[in-house]
A and B are shown apart, each in its own frame.
Chain A
Amino acid sequence: MAEKIQKKDRMKIPRSSMPEQDPNERAKNFTEVPFGLSEEQALQEASRCLECPKAPCIAGCPVEVDIPGFITLVMEKDYAGAARKIKETNALPAICGRVCPQEEQCEQVCILSKKFTPVAVGYLERFVADYERENNLVVMPKIASPTGCKVAVVGAGPAGLTVAGDLTLLGHKVTIFEALHKPGGVLVYGIPEFRLPKKIVQSECDYLADMGVEFKNSTVIGKSDTIDELFEMDYDSVFIGTGAGLPNFMGIPGENLIGIYSSNEYLTRSNLMRAFDFPTYDTPIIKGKNVAVLGGGNTAMDSVRTALRLGADNAYIVYRRSEAEMPARAEEIHHAQQEGVQFNMLTNPVKFTGDKDGKVVSMECIRMELGEPDDSGRRRPVPIEGSNFTFDVDLVVVAIGNSSNPLIPQTTPGLETNRWGNIVVTEETMQTSREGVYAGGDIVTGGATVILAAGAGKVAARAMHKYLMDKKDMVAGED
């Protein structure tokens, strides 16, 4: 191994910058934007880490990845070992390395961020996971001997996939029921190819299938079977990870005009149905020239960048607060700016107008200013009287968040939900108000993040395992 560099010298090494496609070029294609670090860069970046004994970064990660532990393995060039180290607590490193808001999590609290720039934990996480996958170094883990217990997981998003993986390792037989024709949840239908290639999500699902997880796609629980019927089918426990899937609209005049999509519809058409590749794929999508995307989150950034790639001349973000309040990841906002997205801050739409065919042609907005802080602690935007103005649009994407889908609560008697329709759980176990039924991810928290959903899956899997084993012991005791 190369000689250890002194701590004070390590701090002087600049943070690696991620090689990526040229903004002008990439704004026209759907290929992934960042290329990933080279081995050299990864080694250099790893050498910046001070391997702090108390490693604050670990606590900054919602699933407590052993960051210095895996970085040490990178320095030893044991990249597959590093990937396995991460997988002890995070089953989806290739995905999290790409989409985690590291700047608010692990990297935010890195010691180096106080005086310098933090270690690029996300880049390294991506590097080792890609290395492991691309070099076929993924090994099947040892699976505990069968417990004889059957578990049903509803929803194949990050929460459901994590539960399925963890419980399979512990010897339970897991079946995932997914409403759509492909597993992955938001990872396949929401997050675009240029940010998260679908083959990565597919390989994570294949890995689970190889471990023995059974996937039943195109199965809508609540319609084909209810939760109670799953128990009748001899499932011993059920996990609900159905996400936050019901799109919110503004509720303003003209919103049902043609050319006004929810971000879910726009992204689903483009990503899951691959409408960007129409007519090779059959699903069409409206390609706007002047596109306004309403909202300031990741969903809004993904939509507006998709619009550029589908040929928009002008792609606008229209957001009622200021840039500081935008919930999107800093990296995504930066990428969108580089690609030529125009930001209209402190602006709120009030009305849409259409032509005789019912197609949207313009949007009336009002300017906003920031007032007192609201419940979320962000300053509340208030409209400025008389500041209305109109501009031409031929496509609008409404990306103002999702509510929870009522399908399962409606068909599951005794399943408690809160006033937003989210399923209520005990935090330590993710258990719902129904015995043997657990839930986690966006259906519990409302729209959050991939790693929080996966983390909730971890907690649930642990509690479900205990529940299943206790139940088995009880039955055995009765014999």
Chain B
Amino acid sequence: MAKILDNVKIGPLNWKMRVHVPKLVAKAKAGQFVIIRVNEQGERVPMSIAGLDRERGVLTIIYQVVGKTSALMTTVETGGEIIDCVGPLGLPTHLENWGTAIVVGGGIGIAPIYPIAQAWKEAGNKLYTIIGARSEDALFYEDEHKAIADKLIVCTDDGSYGRHGFVTEPLKEILDSGEKIGMIMAVGPVPMMKFLSKLTAPYEVPTWVSLNPLMVDGTGMCGGCRVAIGDTTKFACVDGPDFDGHKVDFDLLIKRLAAYKEQERESFHRFVESPDCRLHQSIKEIAQS
């Protein structure tokens, strides 16, 4: 059991949940993740660490509603409980002073990139941060990122705020400027991480990405999270989630993420159509789409 301190809507489909798990928080490091289960019938779902308040023992999770479980998460009330929160899992993001480093967060990836930005800054890096969202209302954590980045660039796909366009564009400009960049870390939708890795490869700047395959146990026991890295197969939950973006087989990951499309749709529909469904109207709409 883990206590939920609050659970608030921060964007059209984005929510922020704060969980009281002092032991977990004391151990957790940037780049790791947790697995939660909402109730007894629930799935085990992985969620990145989006903030750690070590003094109060509070973990922040930021999640986007994409299906049954993430929709169910929105129904947990302040002061309520979820049945499990296990972690920290996975390896922490590598920490080093590379001189100048760039973190890139796209969509929900703006959240997990934040503790990484904090850690890299503390390690002494000059830090450029690029964050991007579909539109202004889906953007969050701007002030938090601004407080630690040496330079923050904000993009929206529709131009409703900041720069108009994808996060890869300002990144390309920085790389073209000839400034020496020691390391890039990107977290976001798989296509974003794919194109970003493709972009940085010719510049030979090391680029790490955080992968989000489907998982079950998160301890290396099932192999459901396997990803192809170069010629080898790795288990993202124990060998990752961070991997060298220049070696990741992103197309395989995209396909594997769609493995349960039909069941996921069925489960989401059933949930939304149940008579006591108290979901937000916007969530009901995406279930119907």
Contacts and interface: CB of A to CB of B under 8 A. Distances in A.
Given A279-B263, A280-B41, A218 B85 contact: yes
A180 B221 CA distance: 10
A220 B86 contact: yes
Contacts of B87: 220, 223-224
Contact of A265 (B37, B68, B216): B216
A264 interface: yes
A462 interface: no
A414 interface: no
B233 interface: yes
Contacts of A259: 259
B279 interface: no
A278 B271 CA distance: 12
Contact of B86 (A179, A255, A279): A179
Interface in B224-247: 224, 226, 228, 233, 238
Nearest to A181: B84
B267 A181 contact: no
Contacts of A30: none
B42 A258 contact: no
Contacts of A249: 223, 233
A143 interface: no
B256 A256 contact: yes
Interface string A274-285: 100011111110
Given A264-B223, A279-B266, A284-B264, A180 B255 contact: no
B37 A224 contact: no
A268 B259 CA distance: 17
A286 interface: yes
A220 B260 contact: no
Contacts of A284: 260, 263-264, 267
B219 A407 contact: yes
Interface in A375-417: 405-407
Main secondary structure of the interface of A (DSSP, over half): loop
Interface size for chain B: under 10, 10 to 19, 20 to 34, or 35 or more residues?
Answer: 35 or more
A352 interface: no
A265 B222 contact: yes
Nearest to B85: A218
A179 B217 contact: yes
Contacts of B217: 179-180, 268
A282 B24 CA distance: 25
A407 B266 CA distance: 36
A246 B220 contact: yes
Given A278-B267, A282-B41, A282-B69, A247 B222 contact: yes
Contacts of A281: 41
Interface string A17-32: 0000000000000000
A357 B252 CA distance: 10
A265 B223 contact: yes
A254 to B, nearest CB: 11
Contact of A219 (B86, B220, B224): B86
Contacts of A406: 220
B266 A245 contact: no
Contacts of B270: 279
A189 B260 CA distance: 21
Contacts of B109: none
Given A262-B222, A278-B267, A256 B41 contact: no
A218 B219 CA distance: 11
B89 A220 contact: yes
Contact of A220 (B219, B224, B252): B219
B258 interface: yes
Nearest to B222: A265
Interface string B187-227: 00000000000000000000000000000110111111010
Interface in A227-254: 245-247, 249
Interface size for chain A: under 10, 10 to 19, 20 to 34, or 35 or more residues?
Answer: 35 or more
Nearest to A354: B255
B92 to A, nearest CB: 11
Given A179-B86, A224-B24, A258 B256 contact: yes
B107 interface: no
B88 interface: yes
A273 interface: yes
B233 A224 contact: no
Residue from B37, B217, B238 with most neighbouring chain A CB atoms (10 Å)? B217
A249 B223 CA distance: 9
B236 to A, nearest CB: 12
Given A218-B84, A247-B223, A264-B222, A286 B259 contact: yes
Contacts of B266: 279
A273 B255 contact: no
A262 B220 CA distance: 11
A218 B86 contact: yes
B172 to A, nearest CB: 30
B233 A181 contact: no
A224 B88 CA distance: 6
Contacts of B267: 278-279, 282, 284
Given A264-B221, A269-B216, A279-B266, A256 B24 contact: no
Given A223-B88, A357-B258, A407 B220 contact: yes
Contacts of A123: none
B21 to A, nearest CB: 10
A187 to B, nearest CB: 14
B57 to A, nearest CB: 13
Interface string B159-191: 000000000000000000000000000000000
A181 B86 contact: yes
Contacts of A223: 27, 87-89
B83 interface: yes
Contacts of B256: 256, 258, 358
B23 interface: yes
A79 interface: no
B231 to A, nearest CB: 11
A466 B267 CA distance: 54
A256 B263 CA distance: 20
B126 interface: no
**3 nearest A-B residue pairs (beta carbon):** A358-B255, A284-B263, A265-B222
25 contacts: A180-B217, A181-B86, A217-B84, A220-B87, A224-B23, A245-B220, A245-B221, A246-B221, A247-B223, A249-B223, A256-B252, A262-B222, A264-B221, A264-B223, A268-B216, A268-B217, A273-B44, A282-B68, A282-B69, A283-B43, A284-B260, A284-B263, A357-B255, A358-B255, A405-B219
Given A223-B87, A258-B255, A258-B256, 14 more contacts: A179-B217, A179-B221, A246-B220, A246-B221, A249-B223, A255-B233, A256-B228, A258-B259, A259-B259, A262-B222, A273-B216, A279-B266, A284-B260, A358-B255
Interface of A: 179-181, 189, 217-220, 223-225, 245-247, 249, 255-256, 258-259, 261-262, 264-265, 268-269, 273-274, 278-284, 286, 357-358, 405-407
